[in-house]
Amino acid sequence: MTRLRVALAGLAMSLVALPFAAYAADDGVTTFELENGMQVVVVEDHRAPVVQHMVWYRAGSADEPKGSSGVAHFLEHLLFKATDTLAEGELSATVAANGGRDNAFTSYDYTAYFQRVAADRLDLMMKMEADRMRNIRLTPANIATERNVIIEERNQRTENSPRALFNEQLRASQYLNHRYGVPIIGWRHEMETLDLEDAEAFYDTYYYPNNAVLVVSGDVDPEEVRVLAEKHYGAIPANPDLPARVRTEEPPQTAERRLIFRDPRVAQPYVSRSYLAPERDSGDQTMGAALTLLAQVLGGGTTSYFADKLQFESQKAVYSAAFYRGVSLDDTTFNVFIVPTPGVSLQEAEDAMDATLAQFMEDGVDPEQLERIKYQLRASEIYGRDDVDRIANRYGQALSSGLTVEDVQSWPDILQAVTPDDIMAAARLVLNREASVTGWLMREEEVTQ
């Protein structure tokens, strides 16, 4: 942590960084915008005749009206029903008949649809995706059947999993005034009331080209993508009344929250804590980068500070970790976990974790560890070239969560520039118990002490 050691680590970094430079400069990414406001990203890789075609809408569960939780995800399911020109299920059947696969996913800040198929099928994929952007035709029967499907999905993902139920309670306690506290799939009692009007209202507000990002990756030529995108998506008018993406904000969080979730199905009790944390801000990602590295330093695997103290030295933990999800439109969370070894109570485990955090604030960042992490991040730019779909996902997620192309492209350099002091400043800011929720997941019969 002395100035000298940091300077040396920095020197080593700049030497090793050289061989990677060529890749950072030329990562095969082209971006442009259609006249109707639809943003387009093309990521080229010509090694295999495959294309992934994705449309990301800047509309997720956090954009839902109050009382209609789950409607963003419900609509995602309903987009596989009929349009004026496609029969119910025909889009997926057509993709399959072309050897491809398709699916969709919903998160807090976005809903995305994708197909992965032979590269010469891109025209057809765009034609169908553009069609369902504005022409979906839903029936009451669709609503009744598909509502049962999403309730079974909730059963599978959440009701059958004590961990998922526990996480739902944690998030609901973390956010006092923001929709991130409501589960993406929806609260069950609200899902049961979702109807045709709810789905169509969400669709008619958000499913427009000026609220969408097209991301095409694989064996494609950007100019060809532009021509096809203009033909299929360019013909769709923008929504002039697209609402600004303004959400209710968190008030100052001034009281630590604690909760206990008991369920007889719990096999492995553990302690989970989340802290409210700033997200990666467009044009100002240094704090997000410092938190990303803090999570790695603190709880990113075998060589992390947590693993060292809790798994190897005191052996209070079978597993420990820290996570930070930086890509988010609004305030996100920084999470820590400890799974105690048998015989260690949840109270002892939590105390050990807190003692470790306090010790970390005194010890600071090990510069050698930070240098290894940074080297791995640089190498990941090389390995990443072997998987352009992941690069494509990174753009789609970022551009639908308040970040820009420039933010995505400058991110690797911003990470490399983070100093141990930046990380410790981020830790002091975020590891604030007043803005945290600590949860214990345990079996019913256990006493709390």
Q: Is 381 designated active site? A: no
The window from 127-135, 143-151, 169-177, 399-407 that contacts another protein (CB under 8 A) reads 143-151
Return the residue of 244, 264, 283, 362 that touches another protein, per CB under 8 A.
264
Applying CB under 8 A, the span of 44-52, 232-240, 285-293, 432-440 interacting with another protein comes to: 44-52
Q: Which stretch binds another protein (CB under 8 A): 139-147, 234-242, 322-330, 404-412?
A: 139-147
Q: What is the 3-state secondary structure (H, E, C) of the chain?
A: CCHHHHHHHHHHHHHHHHHHHHHHHCCCEEEEECCCCCEEEEEECCCCCEEEEEEEECCCHHHCCCCCCCHHHHHHHHCCCCECCCCCCHHHHHHHHCCCEEEEEECCCCEEEEEEEEHHHHHHHHHHHHHHHHCECCCHHHHHHHHHHHHHHHHHHHHCCHHHHHHHHHHHHHCCCCHHHCCCCCCHHHHCCCCHHHHHHHHHHHCCHHHEEEEEEECCCHHHHHHHHHHHCCCCCCCCCCCCCCCCCCCCCCCCEEEEEECCCCCCCEEEEEEEECCCECCECHHHHHHHHHHHHHHCCCCCHHHHHHHHHCCCEEEEEEEECCCCCCCEEEEEEEEECCCCCHHHHHHHHHHHHHHHHHHCCCHHHHHHHHHHHHHHHHHHCCCHHHHHHHHHHHHCCCCCHHHHHHHHHHHHHCCHHHHHHHHHHHCCHHHEEEEEEECCCCCCC
Query: With respect to another protein, which residue has the nearer C-beta, 303 or 404?
Result: 303
Residues numbered 9-28 forming contacts with another protein, rule: CB under 8 A: 19
Q: Is 159 in the site for another protein (CB under 8 A)?
A: yes
> Which residues inside 381-420 make contact with another protein, applying CB under 8 A?
382-383, 385-387
Among 373, 403, 418, 427, binds another protein (CB under 8 A): 373
- Shortest CB 388 distance to another protein, Å: 9
Binding of residue 148 to another protein (CB under 8 A) = yes
Q: Binding string to another protein for residues 51 to 90, with x set by CB under 8 A, is what?
A: -----------------------------x-------xxx
Of the candidate residues 153, 195, 200, 250, the single one contacting another protein (CB under 8 A): 153
**Which residues in this chain contact another protein in the complex, by CB under 8 A?**
19, 47-50, 80, 88-90, 92-94, 96-102, 116-121, 144-153, 155-156, 159-160, 264-268, 301-303, 308, 311-312, 315, 318-319, 339, 341-342, 372-373, 375-376, 378-380, 382-383, 385-387
Which residue numbers are catalytic? 76
